[in-house]
Amino acid sequence: MKQAQHLTLAALALSLMPTFAVAERNLVPTLDRSFDVCPDRPAEPVWMQEIPLRQAYQRVLVQDIYRAQNLERIVETGSCDCEIRFPSWDDAEAMFREVHASDERWEMLQASDAYNRRANAARPAAKAICDAAGNW
C-alpha cells in the first residue's frame, strides 16, 4: 500500500514537471515598468538612475524624500489624484540638494530613516484616501 502511494506521488510529480518548466520559462524579467495605478508616473531623474553603486544611498535618500512628501501631500490635500500621488521629482530633488547634498554618508542614512518614519506615519491615512479613490 505504501509503495503504491509513493509510485502515485512519483508519477504525479513527473507529470507536472513539464508544466513547471513552461511556467518558469514564462517568468521572464523585464526592465520595463508598468503600473496598474497611475501608469504615467514621472521617471526618476537620469542622474539618480546613473549614480555609481557606492553612492546609491544618495538615490535612496531622494526616493525616501519623494515618498514621504507624496504621502504627506495626499493627507494634506485629501486627494489621491495621480498628479498628487506621483508628481515630478523636482521637490524631492530640491530638498536633497538644499538640505542633504553636502551631508556625509551616515547623515544621509539617518535622514533616510527619518523620511521613512514620516512616510510610514502618513501611509495609513494616505492609503485610506487612495483606496476610496480606487488609486492605491
Domain contains 54? yes
Q: Establish if 115 belongs to a structural domain.
A: yes
In a domain, 22, yes or no: no
CA–CA distance, 118 with 111 (Å, rounded to integer) = 11
Tell me what the mean pLDDT of segment 77-106 comes to. Answer: 96
Q: Is residue 16 part of a domain?
A: no
Distance between the two ends of the chain, CA-based, in angstroms?
Answer: 53
Q: What is the structure's pLDDT at 61?
A: 98
Range of the domain at 64: 46-133
- 125 domain-assigned: yes
Domain count, the chain: 1
* pLDDT confidence of residue 30: 55
DSSP class of residue 134 equals: T
Considering the domain boundaries, does residue 33 fall inside one?
A: no
* Amino acid in position 99: V
Judge whether residue 19 has pLDDT over 90. Answer: no
Q: Is the residue at 19 inside a domain?
A: no
The answer as to whether 90 is a domain residue is yes
Report the percent of the chain where pLDDT is more than 90: 68
